[in-house]
Each structure stands twice: as structure tokens, then as C-alpha cells.
Amino acid sequence: MLLKPIFCYHIAQKPMSIERIPLFPLNIVLFPGQAIPLHIFERRYREMTRRCIEKQSPFGLIFIHEGDIARIGCSAMVVKTLKEYEDGRSDILTAGQQAFRLLRTHEEKSYSEADVEYLEEDFTGIDPAVSMEVVELFEKCHRILYQVEAPPFETEGGISLAYHVASELPMDTVFRQSLLERRAEAWRQLQLLERLTDWYPQLQNRERVRGKAAGNGHGKL
């Protein structure tokens, strides 16, 4: 079970380094600074998260698509346990920490581990005009989709605007992974601007059709 992502506004910054961490392949993409609740039911991942909680250590959430595991993932910390079930399953809240590159895997435990290289973000060369357009389109799309104002973007702490926007909107996982794999925030924002520029008119049209259907007594689409 995956609930709607929420955004955590503080990212733990680390120097580039190599570390061995447990690996959790999933068909989702986690961004640094993003928080996601996860339902843990497989015995091996119950063991993995229990050890991470005990040691207060990270695990690596990495995108798996059509049987292929991505080379770039995001480390995550367990913020808290939301619920424990009698059969050993649990709901946990995780927070993305830092993007990493997968170097090699190890199969010594019931779950996989991997040597990963943590990656630095590149915030140079950002065009303020592009950032402003991204924010404006994000707010418009969010308003249509959820009927509420978009959560504000905090500029302090080296937060990625692209990660913030992509975590709050229902974008496909392949596109989200493409954002995670690029270190340049300027590039990510340009990609988002192109995607949102195409998407917003589609959402507007869907909203108009929905309004007409409701006015004709046919109900919402």
C-alpha cells in the first residue's frame, strides 16, 4: 500500500562517499526530502526495516521496472512506525535522504545489500524565470487535481524545487526516475516546465468536461 506522498522540508546533506546499505527495490521513485508511508509485509523486508530502526541506519529504495533495477536510487530513513500488525506486518513512514549510484550488490542476507556511492546535487545555472513558471504551473495543476492550494516551496536548505513538484503531483514513475538520475537542478526544472506546459491544458479540458457532465445531471467523470 502506498499513500499519497508528503514532502519533508529538511534534507540531510552528506559528502560523496561509498557505503553498504540494505536495498529495497520497489516500483516507485523516492526523492531526497520526500516522505512516503510504506506497508512492509514480506518477511525479509520486515527483518531489514527492523534492523534499520534498531541501528537508526538507512536503506536504499531503488526503482524496479519490468524486472530491471535502476542504477540510481535514494537512501531512506525510517522516521517512525505508524502501525504494527499481529502477523508481523507494519506501516512505516520513510524520508528520502540522498541520491546514490548502485555499485555492486551483495546477497549474504535474506535481503539484498549494495555498495552505493552518494551523489551531490548541482544547483548551479538555475534560471529564476523557469523556476517561477514551474511554480505557477505546479500551483494551477495542483488546484485542479486536488481542489486545494499547493503546499508552499521552501527555498532554504538546498531543497530541489523539481523534487518538490514531482513528489506532489501524480507523475509517472519513469519520468520521476529520469529526474532523480540527473544531478543538475536546472535540467530537471526545464523538463518539468515542458511536462507541465503540456499537461495543464489537458487538466483544464478535463475539468470543463467534468463540469458539463455534472451540470447535465450525468455525474462526474
What is the distance between the alpha carbons of residues 61 and 72, in angstroms, rounded to a whole number? 9
Dump pLDDT digits (tens) for 155-197. 666 789 999 999 999 999 999 999 999 999 999 999 999 999 9
- Global pTM? 0.84
Q: CB–CB of 23/59 below 8 Å?
A: yes
Domain ranges within the chain, ordered by starting residue = 6-118, 128-215
Backbone angles phi and psi of 32, in degrees to 5: -55, 130
State the amino acid at position 107 in one-letter form.
E
Task: Write the pLDDT tens digit of every residue in 87-137.
Answer: 999 999 999 999 999 999 999 999 999 999 999 999 999 999 999 999 999
- Fold of the CATH domain 6-118: 2.30.130
> Residue 35 contacts by C-beta under 8 Å, 6 or more apart in sequence?
5, 6, 7, 8, 79, 93, 94, 95, 96
Q: What is the DSSP letter of 216?
A: T
Grid cell listed for 111: 535481503
Angle at 10 between CA 149 and CA 32, to 5 degrees: 85
Contacts of 132 (CB under 8 A, 6+ apart): none
Q: What is the pLDDT of residues 149-159, one digit of tens each?
A: 999 887 666 78
Structure confidence by residue, pLDDT tens digits, 15-40: 467 899 999 999 999 999 999 999 99
- Please enumerate in sequence order all residues whose Cβ is within 8 A of that of 187, keeping only pairs 6 or more positions apart, or say none: none
Q: Residue 56 above 60 pLDDT?
A: yes
